[in-house]
Structure 1
Amino acid sequence: MLRNSLFLIFIGMLAGCAQVPEEKIDQRDPLQSLNRPIYDFNMDVLDAYILRPVAVGYVAVTPVPIRQSIVNFTDNITAPTDMVNAGLQGKAGNAGISLARFLINSTVGVLGIFDVASTLGLELVNEDFGQTLGVWGVGDGAYLMLPAMGPSTARNVTGDVVDNVILPEIALTTPQTILVFVLKAVEARASLISQESLLNESLDPYTFVKDIYFQRQLYELHDGNPPLEKEPDDFDEDFLESL
């Protein structure tokens, strides 16, 4: 889903990258010769001159309760998508939770500004059509670094297209849709400020981001319990949960 892609792109834009020898190219990344320049553009232009400065200013002037309300609002907008995808994956329980969350937070929670549902034990469940395709047996496909959008795969690009068709955001005006996108992007980048050292200490940030992306996809596909996978020593479970 877009929120995960946004979060992960900003990890990848925090540091430069080194060239990888031909024999070490990841088979998951057959388009690496195209992906790396796009990664560099995202980092050298978007993050350096726009995203990070805006995020730093946003954190400085925005109280934590207001930031949380913004997160709650954007999460509530995507709740119907979570519900539909949970149903398509055969997760009736999660579909019911997403529906209940949307109804409660859209009314009692004042259009989702307050996450009343979580206080009632209905925790957020993230589901997207990329995961749905994975549950149906569709492979990842080629790894893609998208301009201004960040890490993805052929499967997840398809999933994002489907999600954007059924999202309630299509009922908003163009300025409102842009506003929602900007709010998600700024909050995602702001939440990464404390994690920047992870990228700065890596030998090849491009590869580091790619590995995290695939680990996160597996993590989500199996609802936090990926088979025969071990989380890397560089970061803990809390970091994975924050993506």
Structure 2
Amino acid sequence: MTYCVCMRLNRGLVFMSDTRTNAGLDNISTTKKLFSWSVPGERVITLMTAGNLATTQALVSLLDERSKATAERSPSILQEPSMFQIAREVGKTLREVIQSNAMTGTTASASFGATILLGGQVKGGPPRLFLIYPEGNFIEASDDNPFFQSGETKYGKPILVRAFNPEMSFERAIKLLTVSFDSTIKSNLSVGAPLDYLIYEADSFEIAHESRMEADDPYFSSVSNGWGDALEQALNELPDFTF
């Protein structure tokens, strides 16, 4: 399992993913799940993966290979004219990978399944976010649904629903995501640090910040401990129940 979140702010896009993969409690490793491609001044594309590791690695490898191929050979996410067309190409490639690994076809519930969070901006259009399903179809973020999660979503969602604000700064967004990931990590062993994050500022056509937050990162520890103390204090301040 994994946990990935992408958010659409008025200022741009924010992405964060964990890096834990496991095939049982005795087979845990760290694997990057956040990837990006760019053409300076023209486009930035970011993708996060959740699901079968062989499927997601094959998907990223194919997208990377095709981005370096000639236009005559195959479509490329670096050549498509819009983020919508890029989402279609990623969905098509994901479906292709899943079907090629299944002996007699596959469905969303099959073991080869994967879910993709895709975001970015192509010059001439706004920043956009998409959630791509194993079947290759997708939905887009909107004002009513401004963030997407994939993987182990339930533990980290309440804080996002309560505290998300499209006007927030990138710094506050990272703080919010850190709380969301800390809640998930504390609740599920299949999600764990390090945490990868990326910031894209609208109309910049370059990645503003991309880094990794380790488990012993001082900021992560401060937020984790502070959030626990704040929850305990909030609970104490609520009126007591009486029978």
TM-score (norm 2): 0.25
TM-score normalised to the size of structure 1?
0.25
Structure possessing the higher radius of gyration over alpha carbons:
2
